Amino acid sequence: MTVAPHFQFQDGVLHAEDVALEQLAQEHGTPLYVYSRQALRDAWEAYRIASEGRDVLICYGMKANSNLAVLDEFRKLGSGFDIVSGGELARVLAIGGDPSRIVFSGVGKQVWEMQAALNAGVKCFNVESEAELLRLAEVADQCGKVAPVSLRVNPDVDAHTHPYISTGLKENKFGIAIENALTVYQRAMSFPSLRVVGVDCHIGSQITEVSPYLDALDKLIALIKQLAAHGIQLKHMDLGGGIGIRYTDETPLTPKQLLDEVFLALQAHELTHLQIVLEPGRSLVGNAGVLLTRVEYLKHTEARNFAIVDAAMNDLIRPTLYDAWHSVEPVTPRSGGQPAPSYDIVGPICESGDWLAKDRQLDLQHGDLLAIMSAGAYAFTMSSQYNSRPRAAEVMVDGAKATVVRPREALDSLFDTESVLTD
């Protein structure tokens, strides 16, 4: 068994659903991102079941994986979208997504992005500072629109996750300190070009326990009551994304665990009129993808053994950025007798930080194909062309069928919009 249910061994060869990964690598080359459509559907199903009979809107946190094929799958399943840029808005509109199911997050919204979102008619702006609120009021006024507003508050709770993906602590740049929220809400109420509709928080990512959410929920409920006492009625409460996935042996909380607790609290506080919004990213796509890479060279030094592969930090930056752990599976493991040596899996990029995994017991030869597991989230979307490496192709598998949903970038696309000076 691997960590990802739709990537399993059949007759000793790792498959994506019913397609052998070796075959995909031969047809499309490596490095290659491979996604499972059924894994997307199953991840969605967990949220659908948890939402049944409840007023819940799931807005896929699309920065995790914004390929149009992934977005379109979630659109068809009924998802809304959590966007953080004008570029993401353009992607949702390109697949015919419903703007009234879009929430717009992010600390640095520019004027053109606000205009585009107002013209599209998004469900709400998750406003992260007083300065942003003032700008939004002005932009909406100039567009002759009324902007729906939810304040992203910073509840100052510890999500017990990596510091780089923890967002709900006082020292983080995100949101409005919860103790200042009432003042900012009152300010928002004073603008005719703004309509206050909700409250929002997003406390971090790869969260595995329910307790940080409950800490945030308590604080949000207290705020909602305080606002009501001042005549400010909200329509929805957005608890953000953040539910973790299994990279190795984690057993993260489930959407149902979270929503059961949330709705118990809403009943206890007579707040059942509130719509609940969630913005899951990683938990919808993380285990729906792998990154295939081939071993180019084995290098044995005095200090370590290196497997130099054709994928690199430009394809998957999480290990070096967050010290993240991804499982590495040989696609066709050999049943060797002697104990396998320990390898660092590294890329060809000229940086010591260019590593994908460290200290893995693997029986390797050059030419072997490896699957870096759980690469459906924050892999392609964080990729770059560093070292002038064209971005890898993305393939979506559905049963026994595989479709290229983004081709490998051509070499000349690396520079075909650049120019040299003429004098």
Give the residue numbers marked as catalytic: 350
Nearer to ligand PLP, 155 or 241 (CB): 241
Cα separation of 271 and 259, whole Å?
14
Block residue for tokens 């991804």: 326
Of the ranges 277-285, 291-299, 300-308, 320-328, which one interacts with ligand PLP (CB under 6 A)? Answer: 277-285
For position 280 contacting ligand PLP by CB under 6 A, the verdict is yes
For ligand PLP, which residue of 6, 15, 28, 63 counts as binding (CB under 6 A)? 63
For ligand PLP, which residue of 31, 61, 198, 252 counts as binding (CB under 6 A)? 61
Which residues define the annotated binding site?
242, 279-282, 318, 322, 351, 378
For position 279 contacting ligand PLP by CB under 6 A, the verdict is yes
Cα separation of 215 and 388, whole Å?
45
- Nearest partner of 44 among 283, 379, 375, judged by Cα: 283
- Nearest partner of 104 among 147, 73, 145, 69, judged by Cα: 147
Rounded to 5°, the CA angle 159-164-166 comes to 20
For the record, the structure tokens of 99 come out as 């703007």
For position 80 contacting ligand PLP by CB under 6 A, the verdict is no
For the record, the structure tokens of 305 come out as 């053994």
Per DSSP, which regions of 250-351 are E strands?
A: 275-278, 289-300, 305-309, 328-330, 342-346
Smallest gap from residue 63 Cβ to ligand PLP (A): 5
Smallest gap from residue 105 Cβ to ligand PLP (A): 4
What are the C-alpha distances in Å from 194 to residues 113, 127, 144, 227, 266? 16, 11, 11, 16, 26
Nearer to ligand PLP, 80 or 240 (CB): 240
Instruction: Check: CB of residue 374 under 8 Å from CB of residue 390.
Output: no
For position 64 contacting ligand PLP by CB under 6 A, the verdict is yes
Smallest gap from residue 351 Cβ to ligand PLP (A): 25
What are the C-alpha distances in Å from 13 to residues 34, 287, 289, 290? 15, 18, 17, 15
For position 82 contacting ligand PLP by CB under 6 A, the verdict is yes
For position 289 contacting ligand PLP by CB under 6 A, the verdict is no
Nearer to ligand PLP, 79 or 283 (CB): 283
Instruction: Check: CB of residue 404 under 8 Å from CB of residue 412.
Output: no
For position 101 contacting ligand PLP by CB under 6 A, the verdict is no
Smallest gap from residue 5 Cβ to ligand PLP (A): 19
Smallest gap from residue 325 Cβ to ligand PLP (A): 16
Of the ranges 250-258, 274-282, 319-327, 360-368, which one interacts with ligand PLP (CB under 6 A)? Answer: 274-282
Which residues define the annotated binding site for pyridoxal 5'-phosphate?
242, 279-282, 378
Residues 205-264 that bind ligand PLP (CB under 6 A): 205, 240-242
For position 281 contacting ligand PLP by CB under 6 A, the verdict is yes
Beta-carbon contacts of 395 under 8 Å, excluding residues fewer than 6 positions away, are 24, 28, 32, 33, 34, 35, 402, 403, 404, 405
DSSP assignment of 222-238 equals HHHHHHHHTT---SEEE
User: Residue 62, class by beta-carbon neighbours within 10 Å (0-12 exposed, 13-18 middle, 19+ buried)?
Assistant: buried
Residues 188-207 that bind ligand PLP (CB under 6 A): 202, 205
Q: Which string of x and - marks every residue 336-375 that binds ligand PLP (by CB under 6 A)?
A: ----------------------------------------
The residue type of 325 is W
The residue type of 201 is C
Smallest gap from residue 247 Cβ to ligand PLP (A): 13
For position 314 contacting ligand PLP by CB under 6 A, the verdict is no
Block residue for tokens 């104990």: 339
- Can you give the binding site for ligand PLP, defined by CB under 6 A? 61, 63-64, 82, 84, 105, 202, 205, 240-242, 279-283
